[in-house]
Chain A
């Protein structure tokens, strides 16, 4: 495993390549931010139109699942940051352990989310013929609930796969710890985390104050 193994066309130096990869992911994250803000704007607009129904509907979400998942995800972000920093400092063992922790925590989030979805469906919180709530706006709230958490879960799944791949390659010494890929994946993971931090109050805390 040499430093040169991480160097790709068309770059001539690893620091330059890292800088480019980091800039690239920041630009992509800006794009992602606009992707979510489109849906969040829809949420804000609909909530403005139907404040009463929205807040009543928000009280139906399971705040315990939401809160525990927030803690899980924040911890995984810490683990991922640790993995990237440890990689930079060439602390191989710490880096690998942190990557593994991030994967496990990411998976825990998805599993918890799955249990929460099952409960939501059992309580007829999916808009449709059997929808449980009658207030105008409640169906809109749950439309955005399913879209926003669903899209977030897709992003999280992608992140888990990416980190698992890093873990696998790094543990086989196929991926040097200095590779920009760890740094870039960490940035993506933090964005997924930050989006959840915005979704958590919008979907779980609204109407509960």
Chain B
């Protein structure tokens, strides 16, 4: 039978075996190159890392209830926040959305049977896991106390902790990132189905594409930087050693050349998720599709040229600082375009507040606060005041937790029915979403005040007048912890007892909803042909009318 016939015909129901039925043994999972199964492997490993990183910071937050500390030594305190940073950045946030939802959805959204290099995809998971195990070894062997930034000369000459193992772990995990980036770029170029032109791609695909460019071009610089650290610490080559004429500032330049774009690795996929969710639950075409695309690519590109704003007080040339400050303002423009377009997408929409939408709207608000405080920090005079204080901590947690983690949960709820074939309990999910938003702000807003008042980050003890803000933050963190613990329960419950989802429970437009839930191993039993743009929830120039409202299936379930 030729493809042409298949396109017209309907798939026989009998052959609809899902990817979950392709093998039930652990071995079948560990050796599967199916992008959907690799996505599940990644989801399992990053969930473990997430709770390790969260546990470490829970201890730190408890400790900070008292100005003089409660139960940790100074050393243990340093090691715990370092563990939190390293694990959360490299083993949760960087792989979070791209390697789980990106892996699962990218081929489906473009109508492909798999990613371009399926074996490389599985290999990247093993690399990430190996990197994680190195890092865990560093923890068990006694911990690392350099902070996630590995600054020299402390990391190379003075720290007595397990820097080498941790650096090796991050180095290895970096190659997992590069493999994923290469895979996604080639998949997007080469495997789009018939009719899926570049400007018909869902914005989540564009976001993954832009992210992949950053992954491929920034991660190698981190790898070589860590290699130089290893060369100095292990082989005694004095690369950053001032006594031999080396310059520790060179390390910071190299490190932030990766680590600032890394923020965009974390947030661009989140922006993609939020676009999918907001259009679906507002029943609205996205406002300004082309500008959404340009904004994603612009953020990825300009993001490479702002790293110096981390070094305003490190002694870099003032002219360099002025240029980096200016460019940091410039990168806010495409971000602002995106916020404007999400808001305009809601205008005249038929908005409903299912859990994914609550998370997505939370993202827009929290990302905006994080972005605006980012502009404060891009202004040199303010940065001199609040540099290395809790203000910075609050700022980047608004982007990474308020932004990326919110979007991660939006994606988890939005695509859960597709991935598992089951519907979760909407009431519990909405409750968790609201609790998470509340707990998050309760935790991190006081830290803006703390930082502005001058409490430095990473200090074990602090003056007693700051205690009220630390206690507020810790109480908020407990609420946040409760909100994070809820989804595992009701989502796992839904696996056993949840209602069957059907192909398209949300009435969404993407190609991934045009196949069964959970999808068959080959994704589509007929080759999909695309004839329209990605978010055609209504006629162009029109608005979704109330009487034509498509109710989501969860709402009509008994």
Contact status B247-A49, CB under 8 Å: yes
Q: Which residues of B are found within 8 Å of A41, using beta-carbon distances?
A: 254
The residues in B between 240 and 280 inclusive whose CB is less than 8 angstroms from any CB of A are 244-247, 250, 254, 257
Q: How far is the CA of A97 from the CA of B185 in the complex (A)?
A: 35
Contact status B245-A27, CB under 8 Å: no
Interface digits, A117-142 against B, CB 8 Å rule (1 contact, 0 not)? Answer: 00000000001100000001101101
Most buried by A among B113, B245, B246: B245
Question: Given that A19-B190, A28-B178, A140-B239 are contacting pairs, would A36 and B224 also be in contact in the complex, using a CB cutoff of 8 Å?
Answer: yes
Contact status B220-A31, CB under 8 Å: yes
Instruction: From B114, B181, B231, B257, give the contact of A27 (CB < 8 A).
Output: B181
Most buried by A among B114, B190, B228, B237: B237
Q: Which residues of B are found within 8 Å of A127, using beta-carbon distances?
A: 236-238, 244
Q: Which residues of A are found within 8 Å of B220, using beta-carbon distances?
A: 31-32, 34-35, 38
A14 CB, nearest partner CB in chain B, Å:
13
Q: Which residues of A are found within 8 Å of B228, using beta-carbon distances?
A: 39, 42, 147
Instruction: From A34, A37, A146, give the contact of B237 (CB < 8 A).
Output: A146
A36 CB, nearest partner CB in chain B, Å:
7
Q: Which residues of A are found within 8 Å of B232, using beta-carbon distances?
A: 143
The residues in A between 48 and 87 inclusive whose CB is less than 8 angstroms from any CB of B are 49-50, 53
Contact status B237-A35, CB under 8 Å: no
Instruction: Identify the closest chain A residue to B238 (Cβ).
Output: A139
B189 at the interface (CB under 8 A from A): yes
Instruction: From B217, B227, B254, give the contact of A30 (CB < 8 A).
Output: B217
Interface digits, A126-166 against B, CB 8 Å rule (1 contact, 0 not)? Answer: 01100000001101101110110001000000000000000
Q: How far is the CA of A137 from the CA of B223 in the complex (A)?
A: 24
A171 at the interface (CB under 8 A from B): no
A197 at the interface (CB under 8 A from B): no
A59 CB, nearest partner CB in chain B, Å:
18
Chain B's interface: helix, strand, loop or mixed, by majority? helix
B41 at the interface (CB under 8 A from A): no
Contact status A53-B227, CB under 8 Å: no
A5 at the interface (CB under 8 A from B): no
B112 at the interface (CB under 8 A from A): yes
Chain A's interface: helix, strand, loop or mixed, by majority? helix
Question: Given that A9-B113, A128-B236 are contacting pairs, would A31 and B216 also be in contact in the complex, using a CB cutoff of 8 Å?
Answer: yes
Question: Given that A9-B118, A143-B239 are contacting pairs, would A38 and B254 also be in contact in the complex, using a CB cutoff of 8 Å?
Answer: yes
Instruction: From B181, B190, B224, give the contact of A35 (CB < 8 A).
Output: B224
Contact status B112-A10, CB under 8 Å: yes
B337 at the interface (CB under 8 A from A): no
Question: Given that A127-B238, A128-B236, A146-B235 are contacting pairs, would A10 and B118 also be in contact in the complex, using a CB cutoff of 8 Å?
Answer: yes
Question: Given that A9-B118, A10-B112, A30-B217 are contacting pairs, would A143 and B186 also be in contact in the complex, using a CB cutoff of 8 Å?
Answer: no
B225 at the interface (CB under 8 A from A): yes
A90 at the interface (CB under 8 A from B): no
Instruction: Identify the closest chain B residue to A128 (Cβ).
Output: B236
B182 at the interface (CB under 8 A from A): yes
B268 CB, nearest partner CB in chain A, Å:
17
Question: Given that A36-B224, A45-B250, A127-B237 are contacting pairs, would A31 and B190 also be in contact in the complex, using a CB cutoff of 8 Å?
Answer: no
B293 at the interface (CB under 8 A from A): no
Q: How far is the CA of A126 from the CA of B232 in the complex (A)?
A: 12
Q: Which residues of B are found within 8 Å of A30, using beta-carbon distances?
A: 216-217
Instruction: Identify the closest chain B residue to A142 (Cβ).
Output: B237
16 A-B residue pairings within 8 Å (CB atoms): A9-B118, A16-B190, A20-B116, A27-B181, A31-B178, A31-B219, A35-B221, A42-B254, A45-B247, A46-B250, A50-B245, A127-B238, A139-B238, A144-B239, A146-B231, A146-B235
Given contacts A36-B224, A151-B224, 8 further A-B contacts (CB under 8 A): A9-B118, A10-B112, A16-B190, A30-B216, A31-B220, A38-B220, A143-B237, A147-B227
Contact surface of B with A, Cβ cutoff 8 Å: 33, 107, 112-118, 178, 181-183, 185-186, 189-191, 216-221, 223-225, 227-228, 231-232, 235-239, 244-247, 250, 254, 257
Identify the 6 closest CB pairs spanning chains A and B, nearest first. A35-B220, A143-B237, A38-B224, A10-B114, A10-B113, A20-B190
